[in-house]
Amino acid sequence: MAGGEGTRLRPLTSNQPKPMVPIAGKPCIEHIVELLHAHAIDDIVVTLAYLPQAIRSYLGDGSSLGVRLSYSVEDTPLGTAGSVRKAADVLDETFVVISGDALCDIDLTALVAFHRERGAVATLAVKSVENPLEFGVVIADEDGRVERFLEKPGWGQVFSDTINTGIYVLEPEVLRHVPDGEPHDFSKQLFPYLLERGRPVYAWTVPDGQYWQDIGNLDQFLEANRDALDARVRLAIPGVRLQENIWVGEGVAVADLDQIEGPAAIGRFCNIEPGARIGAYTVLGANVVVKDGASVSGSVVEQGSYVGPGAGVTGAIVGRSTDIHAHAQLNEGVAVGDECSIGAEAVVLPGVKVYPYKTIEAGATIRENLIRESRPVASLLGDEGAAGIANIDITPELALRLAMAYGTTLKRGDRVAAGRDGHPSSRMLKRAMVAGLQAAGVTVADLRFAAPGLVRHEVKTSRLAGGFHVRRSAEDAEMVEIVLFEPPGVLAGRGLRADVEKHLSRSEFRRVTHRQVGGIVEAPRAIESYSGALGALVDRDAVRRRGFRLVVDYGHSAAAPVAEALFAELGVDAVGVDAGGDARDVGPRVKDEAVAQVARLVEAVGADLGVIFDAHAERLWLVDDAGRRIPSAQTLLL
């Protein structure tokens, strides 16, 4: 049975049915299917109601788990017995009913054997618990025959601490007593009916040492994960088990296992940076990133999430693809839904629930549940465009949507220029931007590896409708920037940015037909045109006669192709360093170190001047022929 909504588990179940909540790195229902397979129960019908496709697409036909799965979907809620009755056509022999959202390792073989020995028509697996109020209470005689039970009693009605686990063995004939297509419940209606008619209904007590836990609320969810890590329940936890009950999945990147305190489970392809700490009773889903200085302890962080530098997550639950930015703090009992963004230095106080798709601004303190509205955040586009952590804040999906919004502000058939620096993340995002503009009917003049100045020049000289440049931040290696331009090659003004933001926030994008999709064109003479325009600003003959010798540090920027063409035209002998475009392993540029390196080279080769570009080729520093740095004020005068 896998139709539960799990309302008490929200926001964890806002976007997924209750059986899909993860326990130690796998959905609970997958653990249950593995339990059935271990007891040679391989023909399985899954009853579905809430978000059925989530389970159906995950489990498929069951072949990957060694079983045969089929599905029965309720159009309207039919209750526990009614949902099973809907699948009666394929239930032609003794069958087991088990919940897909209650974690257990019960000996189903012994349960079925007990049922057959007693000649029962229905056998309930029962268990003693401290607090029976949330469950159906069962009382049976010494032989196990049920005499009485009551569904979810008050304390004044409690006559036993033995509760119904929701796991049954049934004979097909009992389904004849369940009306077809109507809501009907096992505990409230079918079992009392069978007792009234003297049919043999038995209770099998779950032996001590066998585990059963209803995952009814967020505390029980965390408890079930802790029990799995403590091996109190027998599960197949993904990954290789190391010392101190640490499970590590395929492709995990961690500098030192001492960063992880067991018990803990680290999903496949997680990235735990040096300086990050993973505390006891932590479960990380697949592809989670934990940055330097961050700490995660006693928490469940689902797949694809990001924990930024210095952030702290303690005793919390974090949904899928959620970003927790630098130095943010999530406290005990916090539950954050899928695809949320917790801003830098934000604090979410204990017990607060943040529902999916919410954004919390940097520095905010959240004291109450965030259900319907996000806390206001700054606009995406600043004076120089969009900026954020590459593939976390600025993803290909966001770049695509940003480009579609930008394209919607332009006319269909317009042309824009596109350029990037040499980093792979910039190449990735530029391609997403190009696709978004094409989808809006805009043609892109692709300059590929190009400095922002070249993009500006192309917008101006070719009379284009605009342009953009994607580049890594000069200050932070993780950050990426998407800069927008408008005619005549200037930064996008407030009006254009506001229009783009409006279309982006409302998802109001112009979509064109297949005949109107924008193209991609070359700009083969762009570098020649730009270097020629720069050369026209000086006295070419005088420069050629002087025969300058330079040392130029290109800073892995896109300045080299333009500068080399210009130097060739002007007869300048230039010694270039750091001209390569792919700077994936190069950190933020340290200006003083670069200046000192060029100063040494100037003296070594007898150059007239040393030039140091920043990573964007938009700023420079100069060194004179004696290796002395020329002050900024003097550079400005020159």
Q: Which residues pair with 549 in a beta bridge?
A: 573
pTM of model > 0.85: no
State how beta strands 466-472 and 479-486 pair. antiparallel
**Phi, psi values for residue 395, rounded to 5°:** -100, 165
> Residue 225: which of 215, 210, 240 has the closest Cα?
215
**Which of 124-138, 174-188, 288-302 shows the lowest per-residue confidence on average (mean pLDDT)?**
124-138
The yes-or-no verdict on residue 530 having pLDDT over 90 is: yes
- pLDDT at position 141 is 82
CA pair distance 318, 338, nearest whole angstrom: 8
Cα 179 to chain centroid distance, Å, stands at 44
Q: Which of 73-87, 137-151, 453-467, 586-600 has the highest mean pLDDT?
A: 453-467
590 pLDDT tier (thresholds 50, 70, 90)? low
Q: Please give the average per-residue pLDDT across 47-52, as a whole number.
A: 91
Please provide the average confidence, as pLDDT, over all residues in the chain: 90
The yes-or-no verdict on residue 158 having pLDDT over 80 is: no
State how beta strands 353-354 and 240-242 pair. unpaired
Contact 442, 410 (CB under 8 A): yes
For every residue of 360-427, DSSP letters joined together read E-TT-EE-S-B-S-PPP---SEETTEEEEEBTTTB-HHHHHHHHHHHHHHSPTT-EEEEEE-S-HHHH
CA pair distance 493, 229, nearest whole angstrom: 55
Tokens, residue 176: 């004849």
Residue type present at position 55: I
514's CB contacts (< 8 A; 6+ apart) are: none
For residues 139 and 17, the model is more confident at 17
Contact 400, 386 (CB under 8 A): no
State how beta strands 240-242 and 246-248 pair. antiparallel
Q: Please give the average per-residue pLDDT across 78-83, as a whole number.
A: 90
Contact 329, 293 (CB under 8 A): no
Cα 11 to chain centroid distance, Å, stands at 16
CA pair distance 278, 283, nearest whole angstrom: 9
Q: Which residues pair with 417 in a beta bridge?
A: 445, 467
Cα 112 to chain centroid distance, Å, stands at 42
Only one residue has tokens 């300059």, namely 447
Q: What is the DSSP letter of 145?
A: B
- pLDDT at position 317 is 97
> Residue 373: which of 391, 361, 389 has the closest Cα?
361
Contact 390, 372 (CB under 8 A): no
Q: How far is CA 561 from CA 7, 459, 485, 509, 558, in A?
A: 60, 19, 22, 36, 7
CA pair distance 67, 69, nearest whole angstrom: 6
Q: Which tens digit of pLDDT belongs to each residue from 228-285? A: 999 999 999 999 999 878 999 999 999 899 999 989 999 999 999 999 999 999 999 9
Tokens, residue 503: 């279309």
**Which of 141-145, 201-205, 323-327 shows the lowest per-residue confidence on average (mean pLDDT)?**
141-145
Tokens, residue 398: 């966001």
136 pLDDT tier (thresholds 50, 70, 90)? low
